[in-house]
Amino acid sequence: PTLPISNSKGTLHIAIASYSHSFNLFGRTAGISAILPYGIGHFSGEVNGMPEQVYRSGLYDSEFRFVVNLKGGPAMNQREYATWHQKTIVGLSVTATAPTGQYDPTLLVNLGTNRWAIKPELGLSHRYKNWVFDLYNGVWLFTENPEYFSHNATFPGVNTESQVPLGAVEGHVSYDLKPRLWISLDGNYWYGGSTFLNGTKRLGTLEANSRIGVTASVPLHNHQSLKFSFSHGAVTRVGGAFNDVSFGWQFSWFGRPN
């Protein structure tokens, strides 16, 4: 909202490679995951009343996550897992986003953020027959971007950008049609995240947004499944006024891939 940009539009195509591994941590189910996104984007808008277009292609910031069940869902072998029935699970996760994405401080539009972000989160999952109810509550913490839109004709010096914590709550209600075939309704809400430029608060950057969506998972094989999702910006104060469609293929295995 503080930038001299109007009538902006953008289309992003993002491919994500991810790997996750679960393991026994003192008798509890735990896991780690790594995500590497690659994006291609076309953006257009008016900057100070003049039409402009930009194209970006490159890596987004990578993401790493650690999760552990604090209650329910103990560590199990394959035979135990096949006969296990979920009741109530309480889990903890810590997500870290690393500044590995494409970033040029002279440009205003970048794929990377040039900063670290960490999100501790507490989750609750409860099953009732074929229904599963999930609720997550977390907060994003950000480090400073030491070179925000700097070293160019507009700002020949160095700008620093910081952001206050951003709280988020997320919920899902899913229904299992049969093993590994399920559909869910999704929703979230996040609040906070005001930004500061060179220590001065930027007006109009407080976020209070919500998105709603639907997700479906379809099994293909014992080890493979497809996932489809759609989300829409239900409430938008800053950003978030976009639709998102995603498609994913998942291959999972016990022990070694087979």
Nearest of 206, 200, 205, 229 to residue 217 by alpha carbon: 229
Residue 223: C-alpha distances to residues 36, 171, 183, 226, 254 (Å)? 22, 27, 19, 11, 9
CA 214 to centroid of chain Cα atoms: 16
Q: What is the DSSP string of 126-153?
A: EEETTEEEEEEEEEEEE--BS-SS-SSS
What confidence score (pLDDT) does residue 81 get? Answer: 85
What confidence score (pLDDT) does residue 258 get? Answer: 59
What confidence score (pLDDT) does residue 235 get? Answer: 80
* List of the chain residues with pLDDT < 70: 1-3, 239-240, 256-258
| Nearest-angstrom CA–CA distance, 72 and 233 | 33
**What is the pTM for the complete model shown?**
0.89
Nearest of 206, 168, 240, 160 to residue 2 by alpha carbon: 206
| Nearest-angstrom CA–CA distance, 252 and 258 | 9
What confidence score (pLDDT) does residue 47 get? Answer: 83
What confidence score (pLDDT) does residue 154 get? Answer: 86
What confidence score (pLDDT) does residue 187 get? Answer: 96
Q: Which residues are within 8 A (CB) of 136 and not within 5 positions of it... i.e. 6 or more apart?
A: 121, 122, 123, 124, 168, 169, 170, 171
Q: Are 210 and 234 within 8 A, CB to CB?
A: yes
The beta-strand segments (E) located in 108-223 are 117-128, 131-142, 161-163, 166-178, 181-192, 195-197, 200-201, 207-219
Q: What is the pLDDT of residues 11-40, one digit of tens each?
A: 999 999 999 999 999 999 999 999 999 999
| Nearest-angstrom CA–CA distance, 218 and 228 | 8
